[in-house]
Amino acid sequence: MKKVKVGIIGFGTVGTGVVTCLMENGALIKSRTNIDLILHKIADIDIERNRGINIDRSLLTKDANALINEVDIVVELVGGTTFAKDIVLKALSAGKSVVTANKALLANHGNEIFAAAEKYHADIYYEASVAGGIPIIKTIREGLAANNFDKIYGILNGTCNYILTQMSYNNHSFEDALKKAQDLGYAESDPSLDIDGYDTAHKAAILASLAFGDWINLSSVYVEGIRNISLDDIVYAKELGYSIKLLGIAKKVGNDIQVRVHPAMIPNGATMASINDVYNGIYIEGKPIGGTLFYGRGAGMAATSSAVVADIIDVARNLNSSSSLRLPAFTSQKHYDKFTQMADILSRYYIKINVTDEPGVIAKISTILGEENISISSMLQKEVSEIFKPVPIVIVTHSTFEKNMISALSRIQKLSIVHEKINLIRIEDI
Ligand SMILES: NC(=O)c1ccc[n+]([C@@H]2O[C@H](COP(=O)([O-])OP(=O)(O)OC[C@H]3O[C@@H](n4cnc5c(N)ncnc54)[C@H](OP(=O)(O)O)[C@@H]3O)[C@@H](O)[C@H]2O)c1
């Protein structure tokens, strides 16, 4: 039986989960694969802290660099894009295979890292970087390898999905739902990476790069988070038959692609609309497969460690059969001609405008929309009891170019009858 030495760098949440899984399921994995995964060393800057699991303390080291030279597989679970990048490149250049869960690292430096893997003929596996418990990287690279992909819609951030679910089902304000997520450990004390959409953007860029070929720069991805979603929006969405989700969207339209992250209204009847709480969901459309949906836990110690250990097993199998790079780190397929700018996307829109309740208001707004070639699909206006209080008008449009919508909104915003900033949410008919 082949023995494969594994070294883990970063003994935090995921590192602890991976060590636990290797200890608890090591025998099962051995019987299943005929490979003995030896946990050789665990490196962390803090090797005194109690991690809540019983391990042989001689496995712990502060010297990540030395660990790289002693093992067959380096597992990077430090996070961040500085030290993590150094050790991943160092491991690959030493011909060591790497497993990482680090989406920020790959989204920012995937090009360089994958090139190093090819150059030094070493594997880099990264299943846990997107939607932890859902094996979506393997699915795109292997299970769906025969497909020409058209569309990916992903609910990729459990924190945002939890907040939107709490707003939708328990009528919490955004602030209360965020506080609840923080109390439960679903959101960081500084939640900006999640709620401003950047975590979803990292994952969307990785998925789109894999599906469409050619590395997609993070700077090309439009990113908008969920801070501007109010309880009112959630209530109006329900009334109109929609749910609001933060989506990572990658689409091929003709030979052009678009990758964007923003809150979107999706029809309540769509299966994606019922993916709630901290769960993730990914819908992929391709030819010949058609539409296919994946669902599961996106983060947390358990789901993430399952993905990391699966990668360790894959890499160990490749080492065992001398077939590293059996799956290239990344294949450039050059399946698209250009990147669609946001101004040129076609979408349906929900807009909420707070206006003075007086005659002629709707005429003024619909005239501007008409002049910008935007056609109204439906409209809601609620009665309010207090005189002179601004009233919300909610308009749903037919499909139009974003540049027309932006131009119309900037004109409507300047009308004296309009109070507060107009809120816009894109509608995706998944
Ligand atoms: N947590 C999740 O649910 C999840 C899900 C998917 C992917 N991921 C990814 O998995 C990776 C790890 O996440 P995590 O949640 O496990 O983070 P974490 O709990 O913060 O663990 C990181 C560990 O690395 C240690 N560390 C930091 N700098 C180091 C250095 N220079 N040398 C050695 N050790 C160092 C940290 O020590 P200190 O604590 O002392 O700084 C900490 O123990 C990240 O890339 C993350 O994006 C996490």
Digit-coded pLDDT (tens) for 104-122? 999 999 999 999 999 999 9
DSSP H helical ranges for 279-332: 301-320
Residue 89 has pLDDT above 90, yes or no: yes
Q: How far is the CA of 190 from the centre of ligand 1 (A)?
A: 16
CB-based contacts of 11: which residues, under 8 Å, 6+ apart? 19, 42, 43, 44, 46, 47, 51, 60, 77
pLDDT (average), residues 259-276? 97
In the chain, residues under CATH classification 3.30.70.260 are 344-427
- What CATH fold (topology level) applies to the domain 344-427? Alpha-Beta Plaits (3.30.70)
Taking only the tens place, the pLDDT of each residue in 123-136 is 999 999 999 999 99
pLDDT (average), residues 179-184? 96
Query: What rounded mean pLDDT belongs to the chain?
Result: 95
Ligand 1 atom closest to residue 14's alpha carbon, by position in its atom list: 16
23-27, 55-59, 356-360, 376-380: least confidently modelled range: 356-360
Q: Which residue has its alpha carbon closest to ligand 1 atom 34?
A: 44
Residue 331 has pLDDT above 80, yes or no: no
In the chain, residues under CATH classification 3.30.360.10 are 136-297
CB of 300 within 6 A of ligand 1: the answer is yes
Ligand 1 atom closest to residue 103's alpha carbon, by position in its atom list: 47
CB of 131 within 6 A of ligand 1: the answer is no
**Model confidence at 388, in pLDDT bands (50, 70, 90)?**
low
Taking only the tens place, the pLDDT of each residue in 60-82 is 999 999 999 999 999 999 999 99
CB of 11 within 6 A of ligand 1: the answer is yes
> Residue type for 200, please?
T
- What are the DSSP calls for 195-253, one per residue? HTSHHHHHHHHHHHHHHHSSPPPGGGSEE--STT--HHHHHHHHHHTEEEEEEEEEEEE
Domain 2-130+301-320 belongs in CATH node 3.40.50.720: yes
Kindly list the catalytic residues. 203
CATH number listed for the domain at residues 136-297: 3.30.360.10
What is the per-residue pLDDT for 329? 83
What is the per-residue pLDDT for 381? 87
Residue 185 has pLDDT above 60, yes or no: yes
What is the per-residue pLDDT for 291? 97
What is the per-residue pLDDT for 336? 77
Q: Which residue has its alpha carbon closest to ligand 1 atom 42?
A: 12
Ligand 1 atom closest to residue 83's alpha carbon, by position in its atom list: 31
In the chain, residues under CATH classification 3.40.50.720 are 2-130+301-320
Q: Structure tokens of 326?
A: 């059996």
CB of 225 within 6 A of ligand 1: the answer is no
pLDDT (average), residues 266-282? 97
What is the per-residue pLDDT for 254? 87
Q: What share of the chain is helix, strand, coil (3-state, %, to 5)?
A: 40, 25, 30
CB of 298 within 6 A of ligand 1: the answer is no
CB of 44 within 6 A of ligand 1: the answer is yes
DSSP H helical ranges for 95-173: 103-119, 136-138, 158-170
Ligand 1 atom closest to residue 62's alpha carbon, by position in its atom list: 33
Q: Which residue has its alpha carbon closest to ligand 1 atom 10?
A: 101
